[in-house]
Amino acid sequence: MSEPLTTLEIEKLVAGGLGLARDDSGVVLVRGALPGERVTVTLRSGKGVRQGRVAEVLRRSPDRVDGPELPTADLAHASYDAQLVYKRAFVEEALTRIGKLRHDVADTVPSPEAWHYRNTAQYLITPQGLGYRERRGSAAQVFEDDPLVMAQITAIVRKLDPTALDPAGEVAFRASHKTGEVVAALIGAGEPRTFLRASDHLMDAGVVGVSLAVPAGRRFSAGVQLIAGESEIQEDFGDVQLSISATGFAQVNPPAAALAYRRAAALAGQGDHAVDLYGGTGAIGRHLAPHFRRVTVLDTDPEALARGRKDLAGAPLKNLKFRQGDAALLTEIGADVVVVDPPRAGLDDAARDQLQDSTADRIVYVSCDPATWARDVGDLVRRGWTLGPVTPHDFYPQTSHVEIVSVLDR
């Protein structure tokens, strides 16, 4: 049975890069549409708000361009200048609708590169080639060239025979803008010796190291083992050099992240003690160190803290320390300024309470999710904080994702 078609007028883009339209039955969210367009839409069945995908563009937006259709690039059909405008609007709408605040939002800071910026990729391995999992279902969308990843990764992928990567089900890559090197991780269950042929094939293709990552409930929580070469490479994140791996967390667009980190440090100002909360390996904390007498990087992840300490060993910083813990430690250690860069879920109730009870009179809030950021900022403003400059940053061109750097004072 074919899915029903309908013709709709697109009012605006909302979070997720979806076009919002209305008909007699209510709201429809449309993938692949742009504001001002008239489109024919294939509706899909399901519960909740109706969703669909553009089947035909009847009236084209001047912002529309011919972009690649990839599940990882939900705004590639819009010009890059338009993407920056849309992302600013996402932040404004979240602040108004969720945070219940009216506040100026600066223009989006663009990424230094709009294409071939990603330093990482994780692909399904199929007999036909490497690809991304489709949005709906488990089928892979195979491609020859991925326009989002760095050229060094593409050059290696072109040399690979997918059948030589057996028994791995997926393969992950991480490249360095600093050195041009690439490391890889084969993803699959089994002993490292069963992946030696696949590892040799990757090394022959040009990677400098191969690890084995066993999939588990929490990302690779079953462990990562080195098979050959190096497990890590070096990358610059603004004024800081950090080690990165094929499976560990790191920002995928270091040049864009550098702009946000420098902005966060500028907003933090200077003083006696700054805390980098959710600080991980200390990328932001190390940007703060020249401007404060003491900096403490707080995080609950012991592995991230260990990597940060190792990376710090070669840096001439005596005023920065790593400590395992969360916002509950703020009242114990004290701070003039707290920089928070939480995961997508944002600050929980306890963290906001602890920030409120801390000695800090400034919070620099770095966020990867406008909705949870707006919720948290709205709550903090109602507790007596004053929201200052809000600046969106684009770490993920061709997608609907947007980062935010903001500051609150009391």
Output the known binding site for S-adenosyl-L-methionine. 251, 278, 299, 341
What is the phi/psi pair of residue 20, to 5°? -100, 125
What does DSSP assign to residue 149? B
What is the phi/psi pair of residue 340, to 5°? -115, 135
Distance CA 205, CA 203 (A): 5
Q: Which residue's structure tokens are 């991230």?
A: 304
Exposed / middle / buried, residue 126 (Cβ in 10 Å: 0-12, 13-18, 19+): middle
Whether 256 contacts 353, CB under 8 Å: no
Query: Which of 154, 187, 158 minimizes the C-alpha distance to 170?
Result: 187
**Helices 80-97 and 370-382: angle between axes, nearest 10 degrees:** 40
Distance CA 266, CA 347 (A): 22
Helix/strand/coil (H, E, C) string of 234-289?
EEEECCEEEEEECCCCCCCCHHHHHHHHHHHHHHHCCEEEEEEECCCCCHHHHHHH
Distances (CA, A) of 308 to 89, 152, 241, 285, 315: 35, 26, 10, 10, 11
CA angle 370, 376, 380 (to 5 degrees): 140
Tokens of 361: 């009179």
Give the catalytic positions in this structure: 368
Sheet holding 12-14, edge to edge: 5-9, 38-44, 50-59, 26-31, 18-23, 12-14
Distance CA 309, CA 303 (A): 10
